[in-house]
Structure 1
């Protein structure tokens, strides 16, 4: 099963490295490989969260996520998205933006990289607020098991107020816009952040509207998995979620290269493909039900990423910091899950 799930990722990765070599030689291959490894290492929390949604979808929509979803991830977020930013902020059409990316100016005029980087306030605010809403929704949601109980249990009582995630998120947005972001970016950050909250509410609301109740609390049965419109809206939710995770990765990629082709090959074809395969693997192996706190750790990693994105409005945050915080939280939740599983198993045998 492992080979079947990851086989296509290896094939696509080899093809991406061959394309990189034909495009820019051994240097392009090295940069593509570095970007691919970077994307996979920073996106494990993304895969875990994707798996919690994907396990509710039918086999058809899971295949759509692994195929059509990859096309959206590669050509949408990793290629078209930066070009779209240049188009909107610099007034250049996508063709001229691509030309600018492939032919950096030497006369001191704005480069493709500088234009995309200048749009960081909008990107960080929108993506940060979308991810923050996801984290707060989980944090305030009533659940039997809590991981960091000393924090989570008191917040469960606050979560009885249905509007709590929105209230807390908008409060954090106001603080970030007024205290963290430069004064000239305050209105921009506010508008982009509110749009991030609205996008989450709409997309998540559509998913809940067509949510199919399961027969037990252990996950969806074969008959309960989402199909049709339900599967489509969950697929849409996953793509928006993936886009929010991709914002900081795309911007961070410019620290390695500004070439959109190499970014698309590394972050997109290699990174996004492996993240999707990892997501499918987690679903098929039942990892989330086996390691019960893994989902908790992933959501806390999302919360940390969201706050770091908002913090980056005023101070640059290295990609290594973002990745290490998420990795530490994931590993901690995995270790706690193993201890919890062994303890329960021992008690079950003793009984």
Structure 2
């Protein structure tokens, strides 16, 4: 079962790590490994959501998602998107950007370093919005209750996350952007660049979030129709078969999953720039991670266990928030790549450990209590 589900991921991992060693030695191997773990960690909750929707779709659309969807996710968002980011910010032709990355790494590194303030502002704002929208949402299950409870109450204020993100952007444009790091150790004023790029990141998040919300509404409408059909079948005494989505409804769900996956690949790709500016290592690491996310989606569908570790989603979003802050700080200051990568790993490991403690506490208590009680029992913080 494990080999059948994760076989392709294992093969891609072996090839990707071997390519990393050939390309940049053991340092490249370490960077690719960290990027792979980061991508898997940040996208774990995405895999859970994907599995919950995918199991409702018929076999044809499941196959489409796991074939065409993989091409879009791995080769589209994880390989092409980083090139596009560098090409736009450095004002290069995409072909020239790729050629520089492969043939003139020093010149490419200079261009990426000079473009970093714009990349960091765009990505920092996008990631910050993901984190703020998550932390301000009122949830039945809470991990760090002393933080999440008061913030959930504040989240009732309309547009609070947008206001806070814009305040953070203004502060960054007037502080770290005033002495932005450039190649050669020079520092220049990039306040206007950071401001424009940050607004672009905010707009991108709102567009992606709006599309995701639209398709999510389609899903809710379909679920309501299924519930009404079940009620009608119960009243008439007819047998109601398990509904699977097909046709137009399944197509909407396929689009929704791709938009959702694209939004998570944004944070993975943008977060990767906090780890490395090397486009080849970035593509290898994110590609490996994306394959495991797809395999994990299939595994969750086949096993039917989607909610075993409920705090992993929290840990992933705290990692996103940490990366957002790190990206904004790196506009002026350099932060070691290993430290940046370990922040996400530590937060995910902590949330996993908290989830295990929660499950053990539930087993000891006989699994009684509602969702709110379960959160009280488990996190311990």
Please give the TM-score of this superposition, normalised by the length of structure 1. 0.81
Residue of structure 2 in register with 1:200 after alignment? 205
- Give the distance between the partners of 2:205 and 2:101, measured in 1 at CA: 31
Kept in 2, the 8 Å contact 1:252–1:319? The answer is yes
- Residues 99-148 of structure 1 deviation map (CA, whole Å, 9 limit, x = unaligned): 3333328xxxx711211222111211111211111111111111112111
2:126 to 130, 136, 143: 130
Q: Report the alpha carbon displacement of residue 309 of structure 1 after superposing the two structures with TM.
A: 1.2
- Residues 135-162 of structure 1 deviation map (CA, whole Å, 9 limit, x = unaligned): 1111111111211111111111111113
Match of 2:43, SS?
helix
- Residues 186-215 of structure 1 deviation map (CA, whole Å, 9 limit, x = unaligned): 111111112212222221122222222358
Residue of structure 2 in register with 1:4 after alignment? 4
Residue of structure 1 in register with 2:320 after alignment? 302
Residue of structure 2 in register with 1:337 after alignment? 355
Residue of structure 2 in register with 1:96 after alignment? 96
Residue of structure 1 in register with 2:261 after alignment? 238
Q: Unmatched 5+ residue regions in structure 2?
A: 180-188, 225-241, 370-381
1:53 to 49, 56, 72: 49
Q: Report the alpha carbon displacement of residue 238 of structure 1 after superposing the two structures with TM.
A: 1.4
Further displaced range: 335-344 or 273-282:
273-282
Residue of structure 1 in register with 2:184 after alignment? none
- Residues 38-91 of structure 1 deviation map (CA, whole Å, 9 limit, x = unaligned): 222222321223224313432566655554454345544555445445544555
Change (3 A) 1:224 1:111: same
Residue of structure 1 in register with 2:186 after alignment? none
Q: Report the alpha carbon displacement of residue 16 of structure 1 after superposing the two structures with TM.
A: 4.8
Q: Unmatched 5+ residue regions in structure 1?
A: 216-220
Kept in 2, the 8 Å contact 1:45–1:299? The answer is no
Q: Report the alpha carbon displacement of residue 304 of structure 1 after superposing the two structures with TM.
A: 1.1
Change (3 A) 1:16 1:294: closer
Change (3 A) 1:66 1:187: farther
Change (3 A) 1:282 1:231: same
- Give the distance between the partners of 2:243 and 2:337, measured in 1 at CA: 40
Residue of structure 2 in register with 1:160 after alignment? 156
Change (3 A) 1:333 1:61: farther
Further displaced range: 154-163 or 77-86:
77-86
Change (3 A) 1:263 1:148: closer
Change (3 A) 1:191 1:82: same
When Rg is computed on C-alpha atoms for both structures, the one with the higher figure is 2
Kept in 2, the 8 Å contact 1:57–1:227? The answer is no
Change (3 A) 1:113 1:285: farther
Change (3 A) 1:92 1:194: closer
The 5 Å alignment of 1:183-262 reads: 184-211=189-216, 212-213=219-220, 223=244, 227-250=250-273, 252-254=275-277, 258=278
- State whether structure 2 residue 136 is matched by structure 1 residue 140: yes
Kept in 1, the 8 Å contact 2:87–2:97? The answer is yes
- Give the distance between the partners of 1:233 and 1:160, measured in 2 at CA: 26
The 5 Å alignment of 1:314-333 reads: 314-333=332-351
- Give the distance between the partners of 2:120 and 2:14, measured in 1 at CA: 32
- Give the distance between the partners of 1:138 and 1:328, measured in 2 at CA: 19
Change (3 A) 1:96 1:157: closer
- Give the distance between the partners of 2:202 and 2:115, measured in 1 at CA: 19
Further displaced range: 175-184 or 309-318:
175-184
Change (3 A) 1:162 1:2: farther
Kept in 2, the 8 Å contact 1:297–1:333? The answer is yes
